[in-house]
Structure 1
């Protein structure tokens, strides 16, 4: 794979690290059930600065918008469909040099909830599949919202009481089902939930359990370093990425055996590579969200497939099968 090497020439000496430029799309903080988007996307590209600048320049030449800063929405407009297809195509400028990690937000909530309360995230897929058909749309929505409130740092009222009231009502109304079996287990976890909430009394945690950005960055580093080459991340600057949280990301990667050599923040408009990552993240989020909601565009979904991380956090089986494929490169 060609890319931008740090401390080495292109395709150069062993020990050099591959620099990956990153950005995200769809961040609503910890509000994963009532925000503006239902999918979070985190993209990374290995383009050299020169290649990224040429790509951005070509997009500008083809779209010819007077906008000072281009975003994914420019490419997603129907009148620019040809530009979008050119960008994602197998012979396009980013193929084999870009990847995107997707998170279906409601599944992330279920995964985190069962991981925290049951130490059994494997049950998340079972509950996520069985919950909607067992409890109905309104009951399932009530569970998701109660779980989101329980885990998020900022909340209204008593989130522990609200969560367990919801669990009790659903399991009693729908007994002897796979979903109710899991809720029976959750019903006995109140002390753990109380302990979790009490941990906020001293102040908000460094790493919010429901914020998708931080684990997505760790996953991006793992994805790009899996061939044994260490990576260095360049990321769009944002408030969540404080020095302490960057240190946490680097520590998590180190403990997991991920070859992350470091991470630095830049202003997206000053780095064409980050701009291209921003394009891909926004495009992927929209295509994935459309597929999730049954209004997918088969041609665009097929073009996106080679870029999607097969380890994406995704619960919906139908759309997941259409979106996921082994990553090229």
Structure 2
């Protein structure tokens, strides 16, 4: 962080990824991501494409697995067009999201009406066949909606923060050495929720020793992780939009963990403290 401040020379108290992404600081960005740079081998980012995230969660809820999520995500736009794709995502988002004091059937009615309309529009396609399977799972959707309306889940299915924490812990503890994660302060991460995350991770064989919240302004690790997440988002988003920078895409590649079909939005950036005191 001292070196970045020296190179950028901005009076801003807390630097953000945007500082590094300015054209006039391109040399600093390249230095940070370089194979011989300060974070190579010590930093990691996982990218998640938001649209795929919604499709995957919907398929998992209604069909009990995610096997058909990727084919539906890939074939849907070609079968139903961009308007149809957006309509499906909107309806799926409403179905999965928790709305206090709402009618549990309203979101379901909207989703299955959308699914049936799209399937009837292109009946011979593989995407339409998947939609018909989703349509037949209405009882599962109704049970889910009634359940979340009565008792909101501890980990909302559309919040990427919680799986990101688990995946970060799994990445840095892959050698079996327990790690403690250091995370920027978040209202969503209450003491009870943190305890549940840690207990769940340990139960599943992830060596997560704990999760500690800090003020990002006082912790250089969190600032660098935020840099990486913001940089990765911009590089990947530009690539998806067809205006990617091949040089930066190549520089980012060693830091990207996991595979998303078109990863554009970072779930998390993390920085390893090799004494295992935190990420």
TM-score > 0.5 by shorter chain: yes
Unpaired segments ≥5 residues, structure 1: 1-55, 320-328
Unpaired segments ≥5 residues, structure 2: 265-273, 275-279
Query: Does residue 133 in structure 1 map to residue 81 in structure 2?
Result: no
| 1:25-64 Cα distance to aligned partner (Å, 9 max, x none) | xxxxxxxxxxxxxxxxxxxxxxxxxxxxxxx111111111
Q: Which residue of 1 aligns with 2:267?
A: none
Query: Does residue 149 in structure 1 map to residue 94 in structure 2?
Result: yes
User: In the TM superposition, what is the alpha-carbon distance from 1:236 to its structure 2 partner?
Assistant: 0.7
The alignment's C-alpha RMSD in Å is: 1.8
Q: Which residue of 2 aligns with 1:7?
A: none
CA distance in 1, matches of 2:107, 2:261: 24
CA distance in 2, matches of 1:194, 1:169: 19
User: In the TM superposition, what is the alpha-carbon distance from 1:200 to its structure 2 partner?
Assistant: 2.5
Match of 1:269 among 183, 206, 217: 217
Q: Which residue of 1 aligns with 2:49?
A: 104
Is the Cα contact below 8 Å between 1:117 and 1:193 reproduced in 2? Answer: yes
Match of 1:122 among 53, 56, 67: 67
CA distance in 1, matches of 2:99, 2:171: 32
Is the Cα contact below 8 Å between 2:99 and 2:149 reproduced in 1? Answer: no
Match of 2:147 among 196, 199, 202: 199
Q: Which residue of 2 aligns with 1:179?
A: 127
User: In the TM superposition, what is the alpha-carbon distance from 1:149 to its structure 2 partner?
Assistant: 1.0
User: In the TM superposition, what is the alpha-carbon distance from 1:262 to its structure 2 partner?
Assistant: 0.9
User: In the TM superposition, what is the alpha-carbon distance from 1:201 to its structure 2 partner?
Assistant: 2.8
CA distance in 1, matches of 2:113, 2:94: 13
User: In the TM superposition, what is the alpha-carbon distance from 1:203 to its structure 2 partner?
Assistant: 4.3
Query: Does residue 95 in structure 1 map to residue 40 in structure 2?
Result: yes
Q: Which residue of 1 aligns with 2:110?
A: 162
User: In the TM superposition, what is the alpha-carbon distance from 1:104 to its structure 2 partner?
Assistant: 0.6
Normalising by the residue count of structure 2, what TM-score does the alignment of the two structures yield? 0.90
User: In the TM superposition, what is the alpha-carbon distance from 1:316 to its structure 2 partner?
Assistant: 2.9
CA distance in 1, matches of 2:244, 2:152: 39
CA distance in 1, matches of 2:115, 2:34: 46
Structure richer in helix, relative to its length = 2
Is the Cα contact below 8 Å between 1:236 and 1:274 reproduced in 2? Answer: yes
Is the Cα contact below 8 Å between 1:101 and 1:308 reproduced in 2? Answer: yes
CA distance in 2, matches of 1:159, 1:292: 30
Partner SS, residue 149 of structure 2: coil
Query: Does residue 315 in structure 1 map to residue 242 in structure 2?
Result: no
CA distance in 2, matches of 1:69, 1:171: 50
Partner SS, residue 150 of structure 2: coil
Partner SS, residue 243 of structure 2: coil
Is the Cα contact below 8 Å between 2:55 and 2:89 reproduced in 1? Answer: yes
CA distance in 1, matches of 2:237, 2:196: 30
Partner SS, residue 153 of structure 2: coil
CA distance in 1, matches of 2:52, 2:149: 27
Match of 2:228 among 280, 287, 294: 280
Partner SS, residue 239 of structure 1: coil
